[in-house]
Amino acid sequence: MSTRPVRFLHASDLHLEAPVYCTGERTPEALRERLLEAPYQAAKRVFQAALDESVDFVVLAGDVADTRLAGPRAFLFLQEQFARLAEQKIDVYWARGGVDTHSPWPSNQAFPTNVVIFSSTGIDQHVFHSDGEPLARLIGASGTGSSRALVDQFSADATGLFTVGVAYGSFGRESLPAGRVNYLALGGQHAMRALAGPPRAAHYCGTSQGRSPAESGPHGCTLVEVDYDGNLHTRQIETDTIRWVEIPLTFDTEPSDEQLERRANEALDLAIDRAGGRDLLVRWQFDTSATVAARLRHSGAVVNFEQRFRQRYGDRSPAAWTVSADLLAAAGPAQELHDQETLLGDFLRLLDNYETEQQPLDLSEYLSEAQRQGELAAVARLTDPTTRGRVLATAAQLGTELLSPHPPARRKE
Ligand SMILES: [Mn+2]
């Protein structure tokens, strides 16, 4: 057993090559700069946390950077950060995974000597020493996506030394090396997720910076501590510098401009408060009846709202940038519209088919060749059931408005 507490930081999915981007309305210049820099700023906070918390070592569990996209900057950045850790005698154990393995890196010797990279040809183990005494054992492998078979080979330490397993890939509870490692540091998933523990734990620490609406909320790394009694504690450290948030507002009746304004201001001030000085990328979800949704859209209230909130909060630092305001109608168009022998009826029945038969809904054919190569293609394939449902509901609302002979009745002032 170890003679003193062990303390280390588990990080993964830094993705230095991937800036935060948001589609739609042009983002303010100053914010755009921060979106581009966010992966580096978040990664810097990870390494700063290692220094601030005086950890013994840092574990990197894959997806650190795709050097083909990030260029030499990523390598130079890591070299500099690793050197800062070396000055404080903090080691780095890095299991390359995902984008790290798909892109070329300078030889391992190009990094400072405190950096240990796990073998890509099989299981590899290293013992971390403190004042000449073995303190922890690390076992892992580099690879494109470690399989359960690989984790099955993670052995327990014969002398009972605290053991950290490191792996990149997709794992569930069933693939945990029960009892053989004290902490399993996983990489390759962007949301923080605890699969098990304590007393023994297995965590995906998630990406250090959320980059899309699907990665809303806080992101960071995991601080792991083992106290004198051998008890394991974990704590999340938030490292993101920009945060996606969804703000839901529910309206039973059509709100006046003032009501909409007041409720949105209150909700946004609260979100800004919680974000601790980070920039926010805000997606509003107005949840209301189909009738009110149609009126709000038709009166231009939503577009006006977006513009006002962009002007008011977009240029601030930190900014709260309204990316979109979506109307979610609780109920779809009336059944009688579905049954009509009209263009609208045809359109709604077509949407029904997508809904009831779960036909694949792939909008990527509407993208240009270049866009199809990029990340937009994955968004356009609409595989996530929630997003898919929202797109179909919005299409039904929009179709009903555009294909109806008369605009929906306006609110009487
Ligand atoms: Mn990743």
Report pLDDT digits (tens) over 107-128: 878 899 999 999 988 899 999 9
pLDDT-derived band at 175 (thresholds 50, 70, 90) equals confident
Q: What separation in Å is there between the alpha carbon of 181 and the centre of ligand 1?
A: 23
Q: What separation in Å is there between the alpha carbon of 65 and the centre of ligand 1?
A: 9
105-119, 219-233, 314-328, range with greatest mean pLDDT: 219-233
Q: How many CB atoms are located within 10 Å of the residue 177 CB?
A: 22
- Flag the least confident range among 94-103, 201-210, 240-249: 94-103
* pLDDT for res 410: 47
71-75, 295-299, 390-394, range with greatest mean pLDDT: 71-75
Share of the chain above pLDDT 90, in %: 55
Domain boundaries, the chain: 6-238, 243-403
Is the CB of residue 239 less than 8 Å from the CB of residue 15? no
Q: What separation in Å is there between the alpha carbon of 198 and the centre of ligand 1?
A: 25
Is the CB of residue 306 less than 8 Å from the CB of residue 321? no
Q: Of 66, 77, 72, 75, whose CA–CA distance to 42 is shortest?
A: 77
* pLDDT for res 407: 53
* Alpha carbon distance 87, 64 (integer Å): 22
Give SS3 for 337: helix
- Flag the least confident range among 86-100, 148-162, 355-369: 355-369
Q: What separation in Å is there between the alpha carbon of 66 and the centre of ligand 1?
A: 10
Region 332-339: mean pLDDT is 75
Q: What separation in Å is there between the alpha carbon of 42 and the centre of ligand 1?
A: 14
DSSP assignments along 239-293, one per residue: --SEEEEEEEEE-SSPPPHHHHHHHHHHHHHHHHHHTTT-EEEEEEEEEE-HHHH
Question: Higher model confidence: residue 407 or residue 75?
Answer: 75
Q: What are the residues whose beta carbons fall under 8 Å from the beta carbon of 255, sequence distance 6 or more? A: 263
Identify residue 99 by its one-letter amino acid code.
V
* pLDDT for res 292: 84
Identify residue 125 by its one-letter amino acid code.
Q
Q: What are the residues whose beta carbons fall under 8 Å from the beta carbon of 203, sequence distance 6 or more? A: 10, 183, 184, 185, 186, 192, 193, 194, 195, 197, 222, 234
Q: What separation in Å is there between the alpha carbon of 71 and the centre of ligand 1?
A: 18
Q: What separation in Å is there between the alpha carbon of 98 and the centre of ligand 1?
A: 7
* Alpha carbon distance 343, 349 (integer Å): 10
Average pLDDT, the chain: 89
* pLDDT for res 336: 77
54-68, 166-180, 311-325, range with greatest mean pLDDT: 54-68
Q: What separation in Å is there between the alpha carbon of 365 and the centre of ligand 1?
A: 26
**DSSP for residue 94:** E
Region 63-74: mean pLDDT is 94
Residue 86 has pLDDT above 80, yes or no: yes
Region 218-239: mean pLDDT is 95
* Alpha carbon distance 14, 16 (integer Å): 6
Region 300-319: mean pLDDT is 90
Residue 89 has pLDDT above 70, yes or no: yes
Question: How crowded is the C-beta side of 110, counted as CA atoms within 13 Å?
Answer: 10
DSSP assignments along 131-167, one per residue: TTEEEEEEEE--BSS--HHHHHTPPPPTT---EEEEE
Q: How many CB atoms are located within 10 Å of the residue 97 CB?
A: 31
Specify the DSSP element, H or E, that contains 365.
none
Q: What are the residues whose beta carbons fall under 8 Å from the beta carbon of 143, sequence distance 6 or more? A: 95, 96, 97, 101, 120, 150, 168, 169
* pLDDT for res 191: 96
Q: Of 59, 240, 77, 276, whose CA–CA distance to 162 is shortest?
A: 59
* Alpha carbon distance 302, 297 (integer Å): 6
Q: What separation in Å is there between the alpha carbon of 191 and the centre of ligand 1?
A: 10
Q: What separation in Å is there between the alpha carbon of 363 and the centre of ligand 1?
A: 24
Identify residue 34 by its one-letter amino acid code.
R
* pLDDT for res 203: 95
Q: What separation in Å is there between the alpha carbon of 361 and the centre of ligand 1?
A: 25
pLDDT-derived band at 379 (thresholds 50, 70, 90) equals confident
10 Å CB burial of residue 312 (0-12, 13-18, 19+) is middle
> Which residue has 């009738």 as its token pair?
291
Q: Of 107, 13, 94, 108, whose CA–CA distance to 58 is shortest?
A: 94
Q: What separation in Å is there between the alpha carbon of 182 and the centre of ligand 1?
A: 24
Residue 413 has pLDDT above 50, yes or no: no
Residue 38 has pLDDT above 90, yes or no: yes
Q: What separation in Å is there between the alpha carbon of 121 and the centre of ligand 1?
A: 21
The matching CATH number, chosen from 3.20.20.10, 3.60.21.10, 1.20.1600.10, 3.30.70.1230, for 6-238 is 3.60.21.10
Q: Of 24, 8, 7, whose CA–CA distance to 379 is shortest?
A: 24
Q: What separation in Å is there between the alpha carbon of 188 and the centre of ligand 1?
A: 5
* Alpha carbon distance 19, 291 (integer Å): 39
**DSSP for residue 106:** -
* pLDDT for res 332: 67
Residue 177 has pLDDT above 50, yes or no: yes
Residue 222 has pLDDT above 90, yes or no: yes
Task: Report how far apart the first and last C-alpha atoms of the chain are (Å, whole number).
Answer: 76
Which pTM was predicted? 0.83
* pLDDT for res 286: 92
pLDDT-derived band at 3 (thresholds 50, 70, 90) equals low
> Which residue has 């971390």 as its token pair?
128
Q: What separation in Å is there between the alpha carbon of 214 and the centre of ligand 1?
A: 13
pLDDT-derived band at 411 (thresholds 50, 70, 90) equals very low
Residue 76 has pLDDT above 60, yes or no: yes
